[in-house]
Amino acid sequence: MSRGSACVIIGPAALEGTLTLPERARGIVLFAHGSGSSRLSPRNQHVARALEDRGFATLLLDLLTPAEAVDSGNVFDIELLAERVSDAISWVRADSRTHCLPLGLFGASTGAAAVLVAAARHPETVGAVVSRGGRPDLAAEFLPAVRAATLLIVGSLDHVVIKLNRQALHRLSCVKQIELVGGATHLFEEPGTLDAVVELAARWFGHHLAPRASVAAS
C-alpha cells in the first residue's frame, strides 16, 4: 500500500511526531507511549506499520520533550501526558490531511492512562481506544466518563497488570472488552504475541471507527 510519512511538530511544547498517511486512509490512530518507550521503539513501529497496511493513518508521538524525559517521574505524570495527547488531538483535527479522519487512540504503559483521560475530555472526537500492556487504572476518576469504545489488551502472564486492567474495566461504562494474549509477558516479546496485538487492535479500530458525520454526508 502506498503511504507517505512526514515529521510534524505538535502543540506548545513542540513535540516531535511522525505522521504516516496511506492512500484513502480509513481513519487515524494516535500512539501514546509510556515509560521506557518512544515513537522510534521497534514495538511501536511494528504495530504502526501493521495498522498502516490495513489502511489506517498513524501518528506516533513522544509525549515528553527530551529535557522532560530526563526526569523519569514525568512518565507517571498522567495529567501532563493527557494534556499532550489533547494537544495532539487538536492538531489532528486542525490539520488538512487528517481533520476528516475518524480518530482512535493507542496507548501503552502509562500512555494508556493518558489516552483514556484525553478520551474522556474529547467524547465527540475520539471513537475508539486500545491499550497494550497499559495502566488504565491510573486514569482513575476519568474512567466512568470515557465514551469511546475501549479495548484492554494484556499478556496472559502479566498477572499484576491483568488485575489492574480488570479493575479499570469495571469502572468503564462505555463499550469495553479485555483480551488476554496467551503466553505473553508485559512487553509482548514472545514470538507471535505482538502480531496478536495487531490483529486485536485492527479489528477493534475497524469496527468502532465510523466515518465522521461531515465526511459521511458529503
Give the C-alpha separation, 215 to 100, whole Å. 6
Q: What is the pLDDT at residue 43?
A: 83
Give the C-alpha separation, 72 to 188, whole Å. 22
Q: What is the pLDDT at residue 44?
A: 86
Kindly state the average pLDDT of the residues 86-112.
Answer: 97
Q: How many other CB atoms are there within 10 angstroms of residue 110's CB atom?
A: 25
Query: Which parts of the chain are beta strand (E)?
Result: 3-10, 15-22, 27-32, 56-61, 103-108, 126-132, 149-155, 176-181
Give the C-alpha separation, 8 to 136, whole Å. 27
Kindly state the average pLDDT of the residues 70-98.
Answer: 95
| Residue 137 and residue 109 in contact, taking contact as beta carbons nearer than 8 Å | no
Tell me the pLDDT band of 190, cut-offs 50, 70 and 90.
very high
Q: What is the pLDDT of residues 19-77, one digit of tens each?
A: 999 999 999 999 998 765 567 678 889 999 999 999 999 999 989 998 998 898 998 99
Cell numbers at residue 85, please?
495527547
Give the C-alpha separation, 174 to 67, whole Å. 36
Point out the least confidently predicted range of 81-85, 113-117, 209-213.
Answer: 209-213
Mean pLDDT of the chain: 92
Q: What is the pLDDT at residue 89?
A: 98
Whether the per-residue pLDDT at 147 is higher than 90: the answer is yes
| Residue 180 and residue 154 in contact, taking contact as beta carbons nearer than 8 Å | yes
Extents of the domains making up the chain: 3-211
CATH number of the structural domain 3-211: 3.40.50.1820
Whether the per-residue pLDDT at 90 is higher than 50: the answer is yes
Q: What is the pLDDT at residue 2?
A: 57
